[in-house]
Structure 1
Amino acid sequence: MGFRAIMAAALLAGCVGAGPVMAADANVPVPFEPMNPGGHIDHLGEARRLAAAIVAADGTSPKSVVDVGSFTGEFLEAFMAQFPQAHGQWTEPVDNNQINAQHRFARYGDRLSYRIGCASRDLSLGCVPDGVDVLLSSWLTIHQNLDGIRAFHKRAYAMLPSGGWIAVIDHTRADPRWAARLGKARETMIALDLAAKQEGPPVHHPDFITPSLEEQIAAMREAGFGSVRVVWSRLDTVLMMARKD
């Protein structure tokens, strides 16, 4: 067994029974229930912790953090660890991963609630409670076309208070030449254990085209978010954040 495999096995063994443990340093990989078969390292842990750190750096102390499309809860976990006063809501359209999420969040007790709703990340379906201060989502582009993404951000803007934050981790479309380069580079990064085989699920609707980064940022700005920034990126995956001023 190679060194990396031994370390990965040790990390996984250390988490069994105790549940996932948040790293104190955003540059340290965070053990989690893997999205990628056979993987034991959260390659997006740095991005998720960075999002929480940026909100904290703004002097914000959110009371309500809602993650729409939470999967097993890695993104929301970063905010629960950063903000001990916050209440978090795990949100999924089905309950397949609720048991995994409850295992992850057991140590937070009644600071966490669980909501089934908002299929396809459709905020009009009423899964976001009043008073949300931070809205999180991941892989919006696999569920919505560009019009749906615009609608998501318009509703998010209307829900957030002045000083509220939105953070989205998502895929972006590149032109064919760049897509080929990024694909080859991913193979190299995977071999170095610096990237996952797949960051997020593939598009669920074959007629959807993943929007470019420019189109996604434009959708946020059109909704009213005046200052949108890509604060982290790797290959075709980005973390976009904006504060409602």
Structure 2
Amino acid sequence: MPEQSRTAAAVWSDPDFARAWLGADPQGAADLLELPRGIAAALVAETTPEPGLIVDVAGGAGKFLAVLLDAFPSARGVLLDASDTMLDRAKTDLARFGERVDFRIGDMTQLRAAGVPEGAGAVLSSRASHHLGREELHGFYREAAGLLRPGGWLINLDHIAPDDAVWDRRYRTVRTRFTPPRPSATAHHHDGPLPTVRDHVDGYRAAGVSEADIAWKAFYTCLFVGRTPPA
């Protein structure tokens, strides 16, 4: 595992930190990411009414996976995370789906080593890949795209670094009106700058997911969506 991933995995594997982060995560109407999660489900449904297998990489408590499983009642899910604490919470929060969900422990840069199956109709990730450098991010996209069946969806809802310092200043000035800052106990270190929009778009293309777009963006968070060529 590359050093940057190892450092991030160690942070999230700390039970006290993971519990503090989960406790501060917005719920219900306060969770502004419910909209892009719903958009992702609607886009998948537009072309793929029966995705079959949905893989949630670094899925945390399973919020994103839950939206997709609600949208596709016949689908089954695999949730992968490096944190036992996160997986325990996901097992509780996703218990209503019963045997439709399989839980795996593992790092997002080693999907096959963690036993994540191939043939997925959608591979999701959320608020995790910003810990990766550009090359590591592209490696993740290549491996994730390799798990998809023809016409499958690669979806990533994550934080980015603005290219423009002017916009960075503007966003920092106004975003707290809409997204209150997290408690200091949930702050975590990044070994390098966050990936940019260009890093993500280039990663999709390098993975062979040429049909890609940014379906939603607010401040520092983007919903990247892409579909592999149909058979």
Common fold by TM > 0.5: yes
Give TM class, smaller chain.
0.7 to 0.9
Cα deviation for residue 86 of structure 1 reads 0.5
- Decide whether the 8 Å contact of 1:143 with 1:204 is kept in 2: no
Query: Relative contact order, CA 8 A, sep 6+: which one is greater?
Result: 2
Q: Which residue of 2 aligns with 1:235?
A: 219
Cα deviation for residue 124 of structure 1 reads 4.8
Q: Which residue of 1 aligns with 2:147?
A: 159
1:135 aligns with 2:123: yes
Q: Which residue of 1 aligns with 2:134?
A: 146
1:217 aligns with 2:206: no
Q: Which residue of 2 aligns with 1:186?
A: 175
TM-score by length of 1: 0.76
Shift in CA distance, 121/219, structure 1 to aligned 2, threshold 3 Å = same
What letter corresponds to residue 47 of structure 1 in structure 2? P
Q: Which residue of 2 aligns with 1:171?
A: 159
- Name the count of aligned residue pairs: 204
Query: For structure 1, which runs of at least 5 residues remain unmatched after alignment?
Result: 1-32, 190-194
Range with bigger deviation, 157-166 or 234-243: 157-166
Q: Compare the two structures and name the one with the higher helix fraction.
A: 2
**Higher-Rg member (1/2):** 1
Q: Which residue of 1 aligns with 2:42?
A: 53
Cα deviation for residue 121 of structure 1 reads 3.9
- Decide whether the 8 Å contact of 2:120 with 2:147 is kept in 1: yes
> Root-mean-square deviation (CA), in Å?
2.2
- Decide whether the 8 Å contact of 1:141 with 1:203 is kept in 2: no
Shift in CA distance, 164/203, structure 1 to aligned 2, threshold 3 Å = farther
> SS at 2:85's partner residue?
coil
Q: State the identity as a percent.
A: 28
- Decide whether the 8 Å contact of 1:47 with 1:239 is kept in 2: yes
Separation (CA, whole Å) in 2 of partners of 1:38 and 1:144: 22
TM-score by length of 2: 0.81
Describe how 1:1-245 pairs up with structure 2 within 5 A: 35=22, 37=24, 39-40=26-27, 41-117=30-106, 119-174=107-162, 175-189=164-178, 195-197=179-181, 204-206=189-191, 208-245=192-229
Shift in CA distance, 163/203, structure 1 to aligned 2, threshold 3 Å = farther
> SS at 1:215's partner residue?
helix
What letter corresponds to residue 24 of structure 2 in structure 1? P
Range with bigger deviation, 90-99 or 77-86: 90-99
